[in-house]
Structures are given as C-alpha cells and as structure tokens.
Structure 1
C-alpha cells in the first residue's frame, strides 16, 4: 500500500505539474473539499477529479507549460504538507491582465488529507500578492 506522502508526491508530480491532469482520479477522491486559504476571503470549493483536471488546464492556458518544483514535503499520519515553486510564462489572461510574455513565479503550499489512499481534502495558500506584483510590473513594462 502506498503511503500518504507518496500519494501526494505523485499527485503533485503527475497532475499538479500539468503533465497528466487526466490522472487526477488516480489520486483524488470523487469529491474533494478544497479550502482556499485567502486571508481576505477564504472559501471552500468542492472539486471532482475532472474539475481539478480542468483547473490545471486553466493554469496551462494562463502560464503555458510551467515547471513545478516541490520544495518541501512533510508527512504525519494522514496529513501531508507540501510547498512548491511554480514558474511559467504569462501567455493567457490572468485576472484582468492580458498576456505579457513575462515569467511569473508562484510560491504556494498546501496541506493534504489522505483517506483510503486518495486525497480527500486540502488547504491551499498561494502568494497571490506576489503574483499580482509580478503581473503589474510586467504590464507596466509593455
């Protein structure tokens, strides 16, 4: 049996990287509670593996073929903490910013809860202010 840390590692490397979003159902339960930890407006979204695959496709549309580096992965029981750096190119609209061709770096972290060998819930934090600052700088430089 695969442990929670291995499940999350493979999810990040295969699905979240954009390499194989169609494999989301191999790592995610049928319905996953996705806690978007945004300080100004936290929200919980329920996602199916198909919806998550579509979400990854949206990232590919905005950032092109991005790279995702897993910077840290820590596990205890059914919880896995992951921190990553994603680097892509601004090739599609992001928020109200038209494509600039600039390199955009995202720093993010999440805690995943694994149940019965599948991700059942996660809490994600993304440095949205850092992304906005990069988008503003790129837009000003056009």
Structure 2
C-alpha cells in the first residue's frame, strides 16, 4: 500500500473505533493484525496484543464516550504518524476514578506500522495528565 493509502486506513480505523457503540469490538479485527506488536505498557486489565486493544477500547467507550479527530498525519513507507485530538464525557469509572460527568479532552501522537492492509505495530503518547486534571484526580496547572 502507498503511504497515502496507509494514512487513509488509519483514519478509517479511528473512525471505526468512534462509531462502535457496543461491546463487540470485532471491527478491530478488520484493521489490526492478529499478531500486532503493541509497544506501550498495557493499561490495567489490558493485555499488550490485539485483545488488549479491544479491552482498552471498551474501557474508554464506557468511561469517556466521545470522538477523535486526526488533526495531522505524516507517512513514510509503512509508518503513519497521527496527531489525534479526543473529546468526551467522563461518564464511567476510568482507571479507578469514579465518573464525574466532566467534559474531557486530550491529544496525543500515535505511530502505526501497516503491512498488507493491517496495523502490525503500534506506539502512542497521550497527554494523560490533562485528563486526570479534568476529572479532578490531579491538580490543574498553576495560575
């Protein structure tokens, strides 16, 4: 696939995650290889594999339902880097923090390696501190 086709695949994948409104995450199988390598440490209760991606998706669907916007992407060969902005509502328990009903937003960078039309590797950096501030688990910035 071309770099542009890989970028489009990642945009469709993120859209598919946002559009899923059930605990059936089989849609992930369409985009993510069975033997995907997830380079981030797993979230509590999640495994570092395709099933773990489904577990994390379900956790966030329940805890912070919302939407994601890909604000920028660059691609070279089989790698796609996406700047993603997310908004939602803290509607359920998130990492042990009870729902607050607060609006939350965060942004981050995701790197996906695509091979044969599927995501085969994944790295991400997300502004978790920002979300924790918005739900009252961390103090906000001074000033």
Provide TM-score, normalisation by structure 2.
0.79
The Cα offsets for residues 23-77 of structure 1, whole Å up to 9 and x where unpaired, read as 111111112111227xxxxxxx6312x442332111111013x011111111111
Residue aligning to 2:34:
30
The Cα offsets for residues 91-120 of structure 1, whole Å up to 9 and x where unpaired, read as 111123211100011212111001121100
CA RMSD of aligned residues (A): 2.5
The structure-2 alpha-carbon separation of the partners of 1:137 and 1:122, relative to structure 1 and needing over 3 Å to count, comes to closer
The structure-2 alpha-carbon separation of the partners of 1:81 and 1:101, relative to structure 1 and needing over 3 Å to count, comes to same
Aligned partners of 2:138 and 2:48: how far apart in 1?
Answer: 33
Q: Partner of 2:39: helix, strand, or coil? A: strand
2:89 aligned with 1:89? yes
Q: CA deviation at 1:138?
A: 9.5
Structure ranking higher in strand proportion: 1
Q: Partner of 1:99: helix, strand, or coil? A: coil
Q: CA deviation at 1:124?
A: 0.3
Aligned partners of 1:95 and 1:26: how far apart in 2?
Answer: 28
2:14 aligned with 1:47? no
Q: Assess if the C-alpha contact under 8 Å between 2:59 and 2:94 holds in 1.
A: no
Aligned partners of 2:95 and 2:59: how far apart in 1?
Answer: 12
Aligned partners of 1:89 and 1:138: how far apart in 2?
Answer: 17
Aligned partners of 2:27 and 2:118: how far apart in 1?
Answer: 12
Q: Assess if the C-alpha contact under 8 Å between 2:30 and 2:118 holds in 1.
A: yes
Q: Partner of 1:106: helix, strand, or coil? A: strand
